Structure formats: structure tokens, C-alpha cells
Structure 1
Amino acid sequence: MISKKIGIVESIVDQSEGLDDIRVNLNGDIQRAYNYTKLTGEINVGDEVVLNTTAVELSLGTGGYHFVITNLNNIESNFTEGGHIMKLRYTPLQVKVDSVEEQDSIYHEKIQNFSSLDNTPVVVGTLHSMLTPFVASYKRNNPTKKLVYIMTDGAALPIYLSKNVDTLKKKGLIDKTITIGSAFGGDYDCINIYTALITAKEILDADCIFVSMGPGIAGTGTKYGFTGIEQGSILDAVEKLRGLPVAIPRISFADQRDRHRGISHHSITVLKEIVNVRVNIPITNYNEEETKYIKKQIEDNGLQEKHNIVYIKNDKTKEDLDFYELKVRSMGRNYEQDKEFFEAASTAAYYLMEVCDGSRRKNHK
């Protein structure tokens, strides 16, 4: 059972597309909460709201906020958009979307007649915090190319929760967004990764596609018990549709947990056991000690035999981020505290340019 409480809206701190960042009075204590306007409507100071307080009471880091379930001063509402496909299916908050694939969609025929991604590069990450450094480096060097972001349902379901996406779209660095599975709120909604990739290529004419979950990730400390394991099946889908699969490895030398040192055990599990196809893995040339550590991990796990490992020099990540005045943070750490993590994502952009750009991409596998 979820934990629910009634609060009074004290202030609206920030509003972006689909999301209100508010402060609520809970028995005299002022606390933070989020209101999704596409689910629960507009909100005003003084409104009485029912809140899901479960995550805060459990002291969760990921998703540790109150969320408005309903506004008691604005209870009734009507459909505002078309479509017949439901997200959050069979829950009290199920919401209908205009899915690209459905029979009445103007894009139905294009989805039906798809043949190939034609080696379009698809970069697949495991954490939402990989998005910004990749986008900064890619767009700075390819300002006229179209970049599409596909957000999976491995973490946050409403795309509105992502401040990164909001910022990158406002700066013109992400051209379009697609949400898949139970995730919703993108410029386009799709049922699964296959139709999302097809949409990015056939309908949005993407030059490059980036795929990752939204904010948050669920992990258990076990070998297979983490939502980032989806990276494997996504890479398989890219190859199946004849795209160019590129995997961003999760790399850190700041994480105090030994299992995440160098290449995280998450990435090793995916690349060694889960993904079924040969993929391209760009690795940053770090300092001598760190690179030696990573090379040993790759050798010990036989990744060089299964995949295409390419070492790339990249000292431009911070410069690219600063160029667009972008700030990054992952697991509570900023760029200076965990630069290897952010460089790994940025390096994927330089890999596309240095190794498989233009005519060379056609022969690169």
C-alpha cells in the first residue's frame, strides 16, 4: 500500500512543461513535491492536494519526493489529447497517448513499411546522466545534424521529471524526444524500442539516436538486479534493425563501491553476458594507471573478443559542457568529482566523428 497525506500548496517554485515544483504544508512542515500537470491538472497556491509520500518516508534517494495524486480543489478533468494507447495501464492514473504505431496514426504506414535503419548510429547508455555530456559533445561538433533522444521506462516514467531534457531542448541540442513502454510525455510516444527506433529514423529523419532511461535507476547490488540491464536488449534491437550499435560503458574512479570501480559490474554484465550481438564500445584514453585498470577488466572478461573496443583520445568534455553552459551531476557527483564517468559518455560522440563518420560508417562493424 502507498502512503498518502493531505497537504496545502504553499508556493510554486518552478514550472516547466508538464511539471510543477511546489512546496506543500504537511502539518506545519514545509516540504517539496511535484505535480504532473498532464496527469493531475493545474495547481494554485492554497490548493488542498493528496500526496503520495511513500518515497520520502522510505528515505529513497531516487524518486525521493512527494507526488500529487489529486488536487481536491480541481478534481474533475477531461481528455486533452487524442490517441487510444494507454500508459500506466490498469492503474488509477492510466493516461492515454497518441502512439505513433496505432492504426489511426498518420504515421502508421511509415512504421508498417520500414525496412532498415541503414547503419544510423544508435548510442545506448545506462544512466540518464550520460545524456548531457554526449549531447554537448555531439552537437558542438555536429550543430546541423538531427539528434533524437529515446527515453525508456527503466526509471522515471514521465519525461517531464528530467531537468536535463528540458534544458537541452530549450537550448536546441535535442531535436525531438520519444518515450517508450510505460514512459510517456515525449514529443512522440511509442509502444517499444523497435518502433521508437523506426520513428526516429523514418519519421524524424535522425542523424543520430541516443537511448537511455530517465532520471533514476533501480539497483540491488546483485549481478542481474538492475534496470540498466536493458542496455543489452536495446543494443540487440539496434543490430536487428540494421543500425550501428554503440554502447557507453559506465566508468568511474570516484565511486567508493569496488563493484563500480573502472568499468562498472553493470556494464561488464551487460557486455559479457546479456547482449547477443557485436557492438562498438568507445573507451576514453584516461591516465596511464586508469587505462591499465580498464584494459585489464576488458581482458579478464573477454570483451575484446566479443566486441569492437576502440580507444579514443578525448580531452574536450568539460570544454563542450562549458560551451553550452551545462552542468552535470551523477550519483551526487559533479564533473570535477567524477570526470571519468562524464568523459565516457562524451567519448561516444567523438567515436562517431573520428571512427565511423560519413562514408567510413558504411563499412564499419
Structure 2
Amino acid sequence: MISIKRGKVTKIIKKLEGRTDILVNIDNKDENAINYDYLTGCIAVGDEVILNTTAVELNLGTGGYHFVIWNLNISNQSIDTKGHIMKLRYTPFQLKTYAVEEQESPYHKLFHEFKSLNDMPVIVGTLHSMLVPISSTLKYLNNNIKIAFIMTDGAALPLYLSNAIYELKEKNIIYKTITLGHAFGGDYEVVNIYNALIAAKEIAKCDIAIVTMGPGIVGTGTPYGFTGVEQGYIADAVNDLGGVSITVPRITFKDERERHYGLSHHSLTVLSKIMKTKSNIALPNFSLEHETIIMKQIKENNLMQKHNIFKVEKNILEQALDQYGLKVKSMGRNLKNDPEFFATCSAAAIYAVSLLNNQ
């Protein structure tokens, strides 16, 4: 079930492409809310709205926002004629998108003609917070590189929720965005990961792709009960299509949960049990103590035999972030608080650029 309340818009805080952040008065108290313009239309001060307040009431990680279900001041809302691929299918919020592979699309023929990714590097992460350190490192090393960001439907479905995407596109770090499955809002909409990868190569004409879910990974503390398991079959899809998969492990020594200490159990499960093909893993320099822990985990899970593991000696992330005026944060921790997590993301990007330089 969802929790529903009625409110009145008292202020437009910020208007972005596809999203409007607002203040809504609910029971004589102003609270934060998000209106997805593509779903519920434009919104203005004074509008009466129906809100989904579930996540805030449960204290979940949505940043303290309610979400507009309906604007009562809009009586009718029409759709354009292009496209017929539905996302959020058979829910009250099902929406029509114009997928690039559907029959009426001018790109339809490309998917029939596709042969191979031709060794295009594809960096496959899990947490959305990996996107900024990876993409900024790539762009810092090669300012001319064209980066596609592919967002899966493993977490947030609207691309519009990601503040990072707005900033990365504004700074010309991310060139094109692609949303797959039930995720929506990308420059290109596609049905699945295979066509997302093809679109990055053949439509966006990018040099490299980064794949992660949107904000809000789901985990249950059980061996397979987390949405990050998708990392395994995404890397397999990259390899199946003739790309070079680079898998970013989740590494931290700051998480108080034992299962995430060092190589997270998420990464260990994906790399040892989910993934069926060989991937490439780049690791940064660690302290002797941390290196010992990581290598013990790698050995115990037979990862050296299953994957190609490389060491990246340099760490340029701080310079890259400074150049573009970017900040990083994951699970509430910044670069200073959790350097190993972000250095691992950056190492994947450094390795990817080395592959491009050798092509």
C-alpha cells in the first residue's frame, strides 16, 4: 500500500528538465516534494496536489521528498503520437515512451544490422554514486571522449531523480544518457541492456559506456537479495556483444556492516557466482593492511582464476574532481571519509582509457 496525502504548492524551489522541486503545504506544514513533469505535467504555486508520502513516513532514503501523484488543477493531459513502448506497465502510472528500437523508429534498422561492439569498453558499476568518480576520471584523462551513461531499472526509475546527471551533462562530461527496462527519462529509451549497449555504440556513437542503476540500491542482507546482482549479467551481456567489460567492485573499509567490509558481499557474490564470463577488474593501491584483506577475499573466492585483475598505480581522482568542480558522496561518506571506495571507481576509468589508447 501507499500513503497518500493532499497538499497545496506554496513554492517552486527548482525547475530542471523533466523535474520540478516544490514546497507543499500539508496539514499547515511546508514539506519538500518532487513533481516529475513527464508524468504529472507542469506545476505552479497554488496548485492542489495528491502526494505519495510513503517513503518519508518510513524514513527511507529518498532525500526527504514526497512525490506528486496528480495535479488536481490539470483536467486533461494528452500525449504525442510517437512511440508505443509502455514503461511501468499495467500500473496507474504506465507511460508511453518512444523506444529507439521499435518499428517506427528511424534507428530500427541499426539493431538488425548490428554485428559487434568491437571491443568498446563498458564500465559496469552497481551504486549510482560510482558514476561521478568514473566519468570525471575518464573526461580528465581524455577531454574528447564521448561517454554514454546507461541507467538500469534496478533502483530509481526516473533519470530525473539524479542530481549527478544534471551536473555531469551541464559540464559536458556525460554525452548521452540511455534508460532501459522500466527506467525512463534518458536521451534514448530502450527495452533492455543489450539494445542499450547497441544504442550507445551505434546511435550515440560513444567511445565508452558506464552502466549503473539510478539512486537507491535495494539490499536485504541476504546472499542474493540485492538489486546489484544485475552487475553480473550486464557484464556478461557486454562480453556477449563483443565489448570489453570492466566490473567495478564495491570496496570500503568505512562501512560498519561486516558484510560490506573490504570487498562487499555484493561484489563477491556477483564476481564468484552470478557472472558467467570473464571480466576485467582494476584495483587501486591500498595500505598494506587493507591490501592483505582484499587479497585474502580474492583468493578465498577464486577470483584470480575467474577474472582478469589489474593493479592501477596512480590515483588522479582528486585532480579530476577539482578540475570539474565536482564532489562525491556514497552512503553519506565523501572522498575523505571513504577514499578506497572512490579510488576503486577511478581505477576502473584509468584502466578503460588505457584500453582506448591501445586501440
TM range (shorter): over 0.9
User: Contact 1:312/1:351 (CA < 8 Å) preserved in 2?
Assistant: yes
d(CA) in 2 for partners of 1:346, 1:124: 13
Match in the other structure for 1:127: 127
The amino acid of 1:66's aligned partner reads H
Shift of residue 145, structure 1, vs aligned partner: 1.5
d(CA) in 2 for partners of 1:194, 1:65: 33
User: Contact 2:8/2:48 (CA < 8 Å) preserved in 1?
Assistant: yes
Which residues of 2 match residues 244-323 of structure 1 at below 5 A?
244-323=244-323
Q: CA RMSD in A?
A: 1.1
User: Contact 1:81/1:97 (CA < 8 Å) preserved in 2?
Assistant: no
User: Contact 2:125/2:249 (CA < 8 Å) preserved in 1?
Assistant: yes
d(CA) in 2 for partners of 1:352, 1:236: 17
Match in the other structure for 1:358: 357
Q: Determine what percentage of the aligned residue pairs are the same residue.
A: 54
d(CA) in 1 for partners of 2:94, 2:319: 43
Match in the other structure for 1:214: 214
Deviation per CA, 1:247-275: give whole Å up to 9, x if none: 00001111111111111000000000000
User: Contact 1:194/1:237 (CA < 8 Å) preserved in 2?
Assistant: yes
Moved more, 297-306 or 312-321: 312-321
Shift of residue 63, structure 1, vs aligned partner: 6.6
Instruction: Please give the secondary structure, in 2, of the residue aligned with 1:245.
Output: strand
Aligned residues: 359
Moved more, 84-93 or 175-184: 84-93
d(CA) in 1 for partners of 2:258, 2:278: 27
Match in the other structure for 2:204: 204
Deviation per CA, 1:177-202: give whole Å up to 9, x if none: 00000000100000000001011111
Instruction: Please give the secondary structure, in 1, of the residue aligned with 2:172.
Output: coil
d(CA) in 1 for partners of 2:319, 2:30: 39
d(CA) in 1 for partners of 2:145, 2:353: 12
d(CA) in 1 for partners of 2:235, 2:25: 46
Shift of residue 294, structure 1, vs aligned partner: 0.7
Cα distance change of structure 1 residues 264 and 240 upon mapping to structure 2, 3 Å threshold:
same
d(CA) in 1 for partners of 2:58, 2:150: 30
Moved more, 344-353 or 231-240: 344-353
Cα distance change of structure 1 residues 6 and 77 upon mapping to structure 2, 3 Å threshold:
same
Which residues of 2 match residues 1-365 of structure 1 at below 5 A?
1-62=1-62, 64-80=64-80, 82-354=82-354, 356-359=355-358
Shift of residue 62, structure 1, vs aligned partner: 4.2
TM-score, normalised via structure 2 length:
0.98
Deviation per CA, 1:92-119: give whole Å up to 9, x if none: 1111111011001000000111000001
- After TM superposition, the runs of 4+ consecutive aligned structure 1 residues lying more than 2 A away are 62-65, 356-359
The amino acid of 2:186's aligned partner reads G
d(CA) in 2 for partners of 1:162, 1:81: 28
Shift of residue 291, structure 1, vs aligned partner: 1.4
User: Contact 1:153/1:213 (CA < 8 Å) preserved in 2?
Assistant: yes
User: Contact 1:251/1:263 (CA < 8 Å) preserved in 2?
Assistant: yes
Moved more, 336-345 or 123-132: 336-345
User: Contact 1:55/1:63 (CA < 8 Å) preserved in 2?
Assistant: no
User: Contact 1:4/1:50 (CA < 8 Å) preserved in 2?
Assistant: yes
Shift of residue 48, structure 1, vs aligned partner: 0.7
Shift of residue 137, structure 1, vs aligned partner: 0.4
Instruction: Please give the secondary structure, in 1, of the residue aligned with 2:311.
Output: strand
Cα distance change of structure 1 residues 269 and 62 upon mapping to structure 2, 3 Å threshold:
farther
The amino acid of 1:65's aligned partner reads Y
Shift of residue 318, structure 1, vs aligned partner: 1.3
Shift of residue 292, structure 1, vs aligned partner: 1.6
d(CA) in 2 for partners of 1:64, 1:309: 40
Shift of residue 64, structure 1, vs aligned partner: 4.9
Moved more, 32-41 or 81-90: 81-90
Shift of residue 73, structure 1, vs aligned partner: 1.0
TM-score, normalised via structure 1 length:
0.96
d(CA) in 1 for partners of 2:251, 2:45: 44
d(CA) in 2 for partners of 1:125, 1:84: 30
d(CA) in 2 for partners of 1:300, 1:137: 31
> Gapped runs of 5+ residues in structure 2?
none
Instruction: Please give the secondary structure, in 2, of the residue aligned with 1:357.
Output: helix
Instruction: Please give the secondary structure, in 2, of the residue aligned with 1:9.
Output: strand
User: Contact 1:87/1:96 (CA < 8 Å) preserved in 2?
Assistant: yes
